Amino acid sequence: MQRRILIAGGAGFLGSHLVDRLLRRHDVEKIVILDNLWTGTRGNLAHIDDKRAAFVEGSAESFATDERFDEILHLASPASPPWYMRDPIRVIQANVHGALNLRNLLKPGGRFCFTSTSEVYGDPLISPQPESYRGSVDCTGPRSSYDESKRCTESLLFECNRVYGMDIRIVRLFNVYGPRTRIDDGRAVSNFIGQALTSGVLTVYGDGRQSRSWGYVDDIADALERFFWRDHIDYIGPLNIGNDREIAVVDVAEYITKLVPGTRIEYLPPVPQDPTNRCPDLTLARKVLPGWSASIPYETGVRETLEWFKHIVRTSEAVPLAPAPVFLDR
C-alpha cells in the first residue's frame, strides 16, 4: 500500500530527522511537511531531494486541505523552555488545537502519532519516572503551557482512541540533543557548544552536579521509527523514550572545553526551580521495542553535535545566541 503522510513540525529539530527516515520507507507515496517555521527552519530540510516530499508553510491548528492521510505525526510545538515560555498561548494552540484540527485530516483507519514529553511528570517526586507516574505539574505555573498542553493532548488522543477507535501512538520524550538543534534553542548542550564556539565561556548554573538524561537524536529517532511505523502493536502508549544514563551538567561542559581549546567554565547562581533530576524508566520501552536502546554515548553525540554547530557557525553570517539567563534542560 502506498501511503500519504503528514508530519506537522517537520522542519523542526526532531521532525526533520523523522522526515529523513520517512523518506527511507518504500511504502510512502507522499509526505506533506507542515511547519510554520516558528522554531523549525528551512535549512533543516535543505538537503532533501525527493519528489515525494512537499513542504507547506502553515500551522497545525489552522492547516486545511482536502487531502486525507494514512499517517499523521504531530510534532508541532517548540520544546525548549525559553521558546515556549515566550509565547505560551501559541504553544497551547499548537498542541491541543493542533491535534483537534489535524485529526480531521486522517483517513478512516489512519494512525495519529504524537510526541508528548517527560514534562508531563513536572517536578517528579520519584526517579526514574515510569509511565504510570501521574506527575507533579503546577498547572498555573510559568512552565505550565507546555506541560499542560501536552497532558491535555494526550488525554484528547486517548479519548479519540477509546471513543472512536482511532489508531494512536504516544511517546513521552526526555531530553533530546544533536545536529539541527537551534543554536539559540536555550538548553544545556546546545548552549555550551554555542558558547564554546563564540564567547568561549560556558556558563554552568549552580555547582553543575544536577544530572540530566540526554538522548542523542539518532537513538531517539530510531525509537520513534520502531514505534510509529509499526502497523500492529499491542501497546499504543504512553511510552517513555530517552536515555536513562544520567550525566552531570558540568561533565558535559568539561568535555566540551576539552574539545574546544581555549574555552572555560563560569559558574553562576542556580536557576530557581531547576529540577535536580529527570530520568526515564525504560522498562516498558525495552519490552515494546525489543532490540532498541539509547546506545550512543554522550561523548560521541556531543562531538557530532559540535561538528554540526561548527559548520553552522562557519556558514551563517549572524549567529543568534540564547539570551541569559538561560534555562537549563528540565
Taking the alpha carbons of 225, 229, 233, 236 in that order, is the dihedral positive or negative? Answer: positive
130 interacts with a copy of itself by CB under 8 A: no
Instruction: Kindly provide the residue ranges of all beta strands, DSSP E only, lying in the chain, ordered along the sequence.
Output: 3-8, 28-35, 53-57, 69-74, 106-117, 167-173, 176-177, 201-205, 211-213, 215-216, 239-241, 246-248, 264-268
Residue nearer to a copy of itself on the CB measure, 118 or 190 = 118
Residue selected from 142, 165, 200, 320 as contacting a copy of itself according to rule CB under 8 A: 142
Residue nearer to a copy of itself on the CB measure, 101 or 243 = 101
Residue selected from 1, 64, 163, 318 as contacting a copy of itself according to rule CB under 8 A: 163
Residue selected from 120, 173, 239, 296 as contacting a copy of itself according to rule CB under 8 A: 120
Residue nearer to a copy of itself on the CB measure, 88 or 206 = 88
94 interacts with a copy of itself by CB under 8 A: no
209 interacts with a copy of itself by CB under 8 A: no
88 interacts with a copy of itself by CB under 8 A: yes
Minimum CB separation of residue 88 from a copy of itself in Å reads 4
Burial class (CB in 10 A: 0-12, 13-18, 19+), 89: exposed
Minimum CB separation of residue 76 from a copy of itself in Å reads 16
122 interacts with a copy of itself by CB under 8 A: yes
Interface region with a copy of itself, contact rule CB under 8 A, candidates 142-150, 224-232, 257-265, 291-299? 142-150
Minimum CB separation of residue 101 from a copy of itself in Å reads 10
Instruction: Name the pairing type of β-strands 201-205 and 264-268.
Output: parallel
Q: Three cell numbers at 298?
A: 554522550
Kindly list the catalytic residues.
146
Residue with cell 506537522: 8
CB count within 10 Å of CB 37 equals 14
284 interacts with a copy of itself by CB under 8 A: no
Residue nearer to a copy of itself on the CB measure, 157 or 188 = 157
168, 113 Cβ separation under 8 angstroms: yes
How many residues bind a copy of itself, per CB under 8 A?
37
Identify the bridge partners of residue 200 per DSSP, sorted by sequence position: none
Residue with cell 513536572: 122
Residue selected from 56, 100, 260, 265 as contacting a copy of itself according to rule CB under 8 A: 100
Residue with cell 520507507: 25
Half-sphere exposure of 114 (CA within 13 A, CB side): 32
* 77 phi and psi angles, rounded to 5 deg: -170, 140
**Residue type for position 270:** P
- Give me the residues that bind a copy of itself (CB under 8 A), please: 87-89, 92-93, 96-97, 100, 120, 122, 134-142, 144-145, 147-149, 151-152, 154-156, 158-160, 162-163, 170, 237-238
